[in-house]
Amino acid sequence: MIPTSYPDAKEISRLSARMLLEVGAVHLNSTEPFTLASGLPSPTYIDCRKLISYPRIRSTLMDFMALTVMRNAGLEAFDNIAGGETAGIPFAALVAERLGLPMTYVRKKPKGYGRNARIEGVMTEGDRVLLVEDLTTDGGSKLSFVDAIRDTGASCGHTAVIFYYGIFPDTETNLAAHGITLHHLCTWWDVLAEARASGAFDATTLAEVEAFLTDPRAWQDARKPG
């Protein structure tokens, strides 16, 4: 069912952050930082994949996402919902169900046999496609997915995620330069505010996380492995 009446964007951000904390998707550690895919350290890590195992939270967040893209892009803005391999696939299916639209997914690279396809499902030339993923950091992976969609003759000018890091200043600029508008439910700043309000982590950890969020590159440079 298409959602039509939900909280404003600020309250959606607060509630989304609260749900991520509630299911333990948020990991903060100021003394033993996590290692990101880039090899750089971070006191923060988020696992949105956990959300698929919590039906009530999953359903609410997908209602929020459907509403957000309809509010921001329009009720008749899309013909197809595409999920990015792999984390975006279940969320794309759930959003497509709410909007009553076909669903496809985009491989990270051609599968290497058969049709050697990157797009699975039916995507038609001229389709207006919404790319759905679980999160974005600097937006880099979105560019490859969008290019694969556009190679079919479809258009893709929007991507929607549950979680956006919101700490790398060039992310939205780089996406916009590629003709992509980013829609998101919450950021690290929303999670930090909700974590403080709920007492989910100790003050020392939250202070270190805020230092990282304020200047992530400086924080990482100071802690790079020798």
Could you read off the pLDDT of 135-192 as tens digits, one per residue?
Answer: 998 888 899 999 999 999 999 999 999 999 999 889 999 999 999 999 999 999 999 9
Residue 226 inside a domain? The answer is no
Write down the pLDDT at residue 206. 95
Reading phi first (left if > 0) and then psi (alpha if -120 to 50, else beta), residue 198 is in alpha
Spatial separation of the C-alpha atoms in residues 51 and 69, rounded to whole Å: 20
Query: Does the pLDDT of residue 125 top 90, yes or no?
Result: yes
Residue 4 inside a domain? The answer is no
Residue 189 inside a domain? The answer is yes
Residue 222 inside a domain? The answer is no
Q: Which residue has the higher pLDDT, 188 or 220?
A: 188
Q: In which band, very low, low, confident or very high, does the pLDDT at 36 lie, cut at 50, 70 and 90?
A: confident
Residue 136 inside a domain? The answer is yes
Query: Does the pLDDT of residue 27 top 90, yes or no?
Result: yes
Spatial separation of the C-alpha atoms in residues 192 and 197, rounded to whole Å: 9
Which CATH number do you get for residue 66?
Answer: 3.40.50.2020
Spatial separation of the C-alpha atoms in residues 175 and 16, rounded to whole Å: 23
CA torsion sign, 51 to 56 to 60 to 65? positive
Residue 105 inside a domain? The answer is yes
Could you tell me the CA-to-CA distances from 194 to 34, 37, 159, 164, 206 in Å, in that order? 21, 26, 25, 15, 11
Query: Does the pLDDT of residue 207 top 80, yes or no?
Result: yes
Residue 223 inside a domain? The answer is no
- Mean of pLDDT values over 34-62: 91
User: Which amino acid is located at 153 in the chain?
Assistant: G
Classify burial at 162, counting beta carbons within 10 Å of its beta carbon; exposed 0-12, middle 13-18, buried 19 or more: buried
Write down the pLDDT at residue 37. 67
pTM over cut 0.75: yes
- Of 37-46, 98-107, 212-221, which range is least confident? 37-46
Residue 224 inside a domain? The answer is no
Give, rounded to a whole angstrom, the gap between the first and last alpha carbons of the chain. 53
The structure tokens listed for 178 are 């590629």
Structural domain of 166: 9-216
The residue to which tokens 């600097």 are assigned: 138
Write down the pLDDT at residue 47. 96
Query: Does the pLDDT of residue 3 top 80, yes or no?
Result: no
**In terms of DSSP bridges, do strands 80-84 and 34-35 run parallel, antiparallel, or are they unpaired?**
unpaired
Number of domains forming the structure of the chain: 1
The residue to which tokens 């959606």 are assigned: 12
- Please tell me the total number of residues recorded for the chain in this structure: 226
Nearest CA among 48, 46, 29, 25 for reference residue 37:
46
The residue to which tokens 């309809």 are assigned: 70
Spatial separation of the C-alpha atoms in residues 108 and 105, rounded to whole Å: 10
